[in-house]
């Protein structure tokens, strides 16, 4: 479940170590590569965060895999991550091989921000409109 304390990073991608998500264990602890989920500035992404896991041989976009699943990572120690599976209503599925992972903003996070963003945008637009009206 997305929270306002979720972390994000630019271009944070990686791969799950082979065979570690080939089951439906929930929650699950698994490993990623040593240089995975580190942004270009060299910052290691800390938990919590939500990430899709998918078979990228079907395409570079997670939505290209009908078995894409969202994981909510609750803990990270080095290359070891612990996650709740089936986040945001996705289906828990076994992922063969070395599936791709990445960190990004999900629909759950946007929905969490929705009312706040809309209110702030509306307030800003009214202020700009009022300022322009008197020019």
Asked if residue 8 belongs to a domain, the reply is no
- Measured distance CA(118)–CA(135) in Å, rounded: 26
- Measured distance CA(71)–CA(6) in Å, rounded: 13
pTM (2 d.p.): 0.77
Asked if residue 2 belongs to a domain, the reply is no
Number of domains in the chain: 1
| Contact yes or no for 17/32 (Cβ under 8 A) | yes
- Measured distance CA(8)–CA(39) in Å, rounded: 9
Range 79-101 average pLDDT = 94
Asked if residue 4 belongs to a domain, the reply is no
Asked if residue 115 belongs to a domain, the reply is yes
Residues of the domain holding 22 = 13-133
Asked if residue 5 belongs to a domain, the reply is no
Asked if residue 17 belongs to a domain, the reply is yes
Asked if residue 1 belongs to a domain, the reply is no
Residues 105-126: tens digit of each pLDDT: 888 877 777 765 555 545 554 4
| Partners of 70 in the β-ladder | 52
């Amino acid at each position: 479940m997305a929270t306002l304390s979720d972390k994000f990073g630019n271009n944070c991608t990686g791969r799950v170590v082979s065979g570690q998500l080939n089951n439906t264990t929930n929650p699950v602890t698994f490993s990623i590569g040593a240089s995975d989920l580190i942004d270009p500035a060299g910052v290691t992404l800390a938990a919590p965060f939500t990430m899709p896991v998918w078979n990228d041989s079907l395409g570079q976009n997670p939505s290209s895999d009908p078995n894409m699943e969202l994981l909510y990572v609750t803990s990270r120690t080095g290359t070891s991550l612990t996650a709740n599976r089936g986040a945001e209503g996705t289906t828990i599925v076994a992922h063969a091989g070395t599936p791709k992972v990445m960190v990004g903003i999900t629909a759950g996070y946007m929905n969490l921000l929705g009312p706040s963003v809309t209110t702030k945008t509306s307030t800003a637009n009214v202020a700009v409109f009022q300022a322009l009206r008197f020019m």
